Structure 1
Amino acid sequence: MSVAQFEREILGDRLGENDQAWFPRWLRRYAMSFRNGLEDDLVVNLGSVLKFSRSLLASGAPAWQRWQAVRAIEFYRTSVLGCSEPDLSQVIATLARLGCQERNLPLEAPPTEEELGKLRGNLNRSEPIFIQTMRGEMRVLHYAAATEKAYVRWVKRFSGFVGSVELEQFGDRDIGAFLTHMAVEGNVSASTQTQAQSGLLFFYQCVLGKQLGFLNAVRAKKSDSIPVWFSRSEIEQLLVHFVGVHRLMFLLIYGAGLRHKECRRLRIKDVCFDEGHLVIRDGKGEKDRITFLPERAVEDLKRQIEYAHRMHRIDVDAGYTQVYLPYALARKYPNAGQEVGWKWVFPSRQRNLDKRSGQTWRHHIAEEQFANAFKAALKMSGIVKNGVPHSLRHSFATHLVEAGTDITTVQKLMGHKDIQTTMDYIHISQKFGVDLKSPMDTLG
């Protein structure tokens, strides 16, 4: 296996003790971004390396960690792939310069306990040791909080399946049996099974350092389904059952095609009333885009931002000036939290302690608030479709296509990387034309 070969290579005397400890971690992190990356040779080109470095930056990784990660990939390129291209020296030099500016220590110095403690955040000491270790490793490698939560859940379920917390004694056959149980007994979807497999692979290969072979498991069948969407009349039926901040979120998710998370994470500075648009920052795939600001939502949105201003003044007066900032901006702009533009449009009612950073601040509204309101509205409206908040985004795209909007325009508004994803919204009535009728309706 390519990654295993890399780990054998670093045992030589060409690397220092610090690099021998950290290079395998970063290469595994890089490999996990590829399908079968832990088994096959990894793709190493300038685009993939820059994308990986930017993803670490988006997760808050300091420059010295990104410097380590790119150097690990460069060493893999040379020692395992036997190539001298792509040339990563410029990227490494830039990260080295930034890293020296960030640290009060030499760049080559091993990470201090203080640095690692900040990266790991506050771990729950009541959890089993193997879960604490896994969480700490994922935070050091800057996995998303949602990914950490999902992976930990699957490792806990696997522990319950095998009936032990001493997971190092189990291997390929046990994981295969667990995945088969999920598909046969649990009847889970293919994506759920894949997520569980990824979580277990991370735990065994990245935490325990145990190489796994072929996982012989029954695979869940991948369904070819179309998304759930609502008609225009159903949208109006749903809207009457929303009030206050939930009504405004409904208007934005449907009227601008936002993902639920994008709506919750909207910041005041990204609302452009004069131009009539919203700027969506760091969307899925770490892409920014511009979309509509629905006229119907303008007045409510102005009132909501006034409320966010009041919350900001209350927090500043109480000494809570910090707010979560992406892309390590908290270090670059230490006073950004005092600027109201960085605050959330939909702030939570109270301040909370962030488990990862250890900071107390006012975060954005919780996911379940709008989800619960949507579920209640769906029940009261009498609509029997199995819709979720994301169905509003599907409805946005579907209605644009039905109105004759160019498919590439819909792709840009939705932030889709692949045009084929957008094409899924061209449903039967669009594929065959509005004049085509069922044979039953053409009988005399």
Structure 2
Amino acid sequence: MRQRGFLWRTEQTYRGWARQFADFVQPRTPMIADGGDVSAFLSKLAVERRASVSTQKQALNALAFFMQEALRIDLGTMEFAHARPRRKIPVVLSRVEISRLLAALSPGYRLMAEMMYGAGLRLLELLRLRVHHLDLERGQVQVYAGKGGKDRVTVLPETLRPRLETHLARLREIFEEDRRKGVPGVWLPEGLARKYQRAGEQWQWQWLWPSRMLMRDPETGVERRHHILDGTFQNAIRAAAAKAGLDKRVTPHVLRHSFATHLLEAGTDIRTVQELLGHSKLETTQIYTHVMQKPGLGVRSPLDRV
């Protein structure tokens, strides 16, 4: 998997599916399994576990790689029950609820939440931001290797600029202290690390949201500064939602949903919203029209003008 350039997270996900499949075919071993066993496992996901389309597809990709690349087993033509697509209406917070949520967060997490809401970022896109991804002068955020490996540019809220400048100044102090202590540079994708061996020690490659403590790299065992863990930020958002008395199921991704919905309600062209979100299909963006307070991109009823 590493020769193919898979991300560590993808590697762990594939390993997880391989373990589940091994449990499924017991007492036999995966070494003597075939396409029929994989089909039965995928059907169980759809029928018994009611897995989503994306979950079943992920399992298929993982097992196809595991069987064909690792075990050299030809799966042949497989027939299995497919998961039914379910279009979920996204949870969206009103502007008042957004304000209450932000007010309940500590300053550090508040800045992260404001960036996620203000730029329409996915959680991992937020956490993986590096110093050079911000263009304060042009008011832009560069998102590299987002979902599907796509790059894009989204908006950087002007109101965050002063606090981001202060935040970057604090990060510079942490960065310089790490260099004085000889802390290894931050993690870089394998290709970059091979081409620019000292880039991880350069300012522009530092994480925008670094962890307070050094962490051991699960791939290399090197102790270095990583970005804040996704679970840490998720817990902060969950606690803030409870503190703010919000009855909705609030996760970090709700901030991205709210970004899209509020732009559409304000009359922003849906194609522009699609580009800012990084959606490959317009239909994905159109789901937000179902939760707008004013259908029709903010158009008022003529009766309201009488």
Aligned ranges for residues 65-214 of structure 1 at < 5 Å? 138-164=1-27, 166-214=29-77
2:296 is aligned with 1:435: no
Mean alpha-carbon deviation: is it higher for 281-290 or for 149-158?
281-290
State the distance in 1 between where 2:86 and 2:66 align: 28
Contact 1:348 1:363 in 2 (8 A): yes
Alignment partner, residue 100 of structure 2: 237
Aligned-pair CA distance for 1:267: 1.2
For structure 2, the 5+ residue unaligned runs are none
Taking the aligned partners of 1:240 and 1:219, their CA distance within structure 2 comes to 44
Counterpart amino acid of 2:295? Q
The equivalences for 1:358-437 within 5 A come to 358-427=221-290, 429-431=294-296, 433-435=299-301
Alignment of 1:21-40 (within 5 A): none
Match of 1:297 in 2: 160
Instruction: Name the residue aligned to 2:132.
Output: 269
Report the alpha carbon displacement of residue 421 of structure 1 after superposing the two structures with TM.
2.6
How many angstroms apart in 1 are the aligned matches of 2:243 and 2:272? 34
Pair member with larger Rg: 1
Cα displacement (A) at 1:246: 0.9
Is 1:348 paired with 2:211?
yes
**Residues 229 and 362 of structure 1, relative CA distance in 2, 3 Å threshold:** same
Alignment of 1:246 onto 2:109: yes
The two structures, once aligned, show a CA RMSD in angstroms of 2.3
Give structure 1 stretches of 5+ with no counterpart.
1-137, 438-444
Instruction: Give the superposition deviation at 1:241.
Output: 1.3
> Residues 209 and 233 (structure 1 numbering): CA distance in 2 closer, same or farther, change over 3 Å?
same
Cα-to-partner distance string for 1:166-203 (whole Å, 9 max, x where unaligned): 21122223222222322232222222122112211111
Deviations 1:334-358 (CA, angstroms, capped at 9, x unpaired): 3323321111111112222323345
Shift of 1:269: 1.9
* TM-score, structure 1 as length reference: 0.63
User: How far 1:243 moved relative to its partner?
Assistant: 0.8
- Please report how far the alpha carbon of residue 399 of structure 1 lies from its aligned counterpart in structure 2 after TM superposition: 0.6
CA 1:316–1:150: 2 relative to 1, 3 Å: same
Aligned partner (choices 171, 174, 182) of residue 308 of structure 1: 171
| Whole-Å separation in 2 of the counterparts to 1:174 and 1:308 | 51
CA–CA separation in structure 1 for the residues paired with 2:48 and 2:93: 33
Report the counterpart of residue 186 of structure 2 in structure 1. Answer: 323
CA distance in 2, matches of 1:332, 1:236: 44
- Percent identity between the aligned chains? 40
For 1:436 and 1:327, the matched residues in 2 are separated by 58
Residue 80 of structure 2: aligned partner: 217
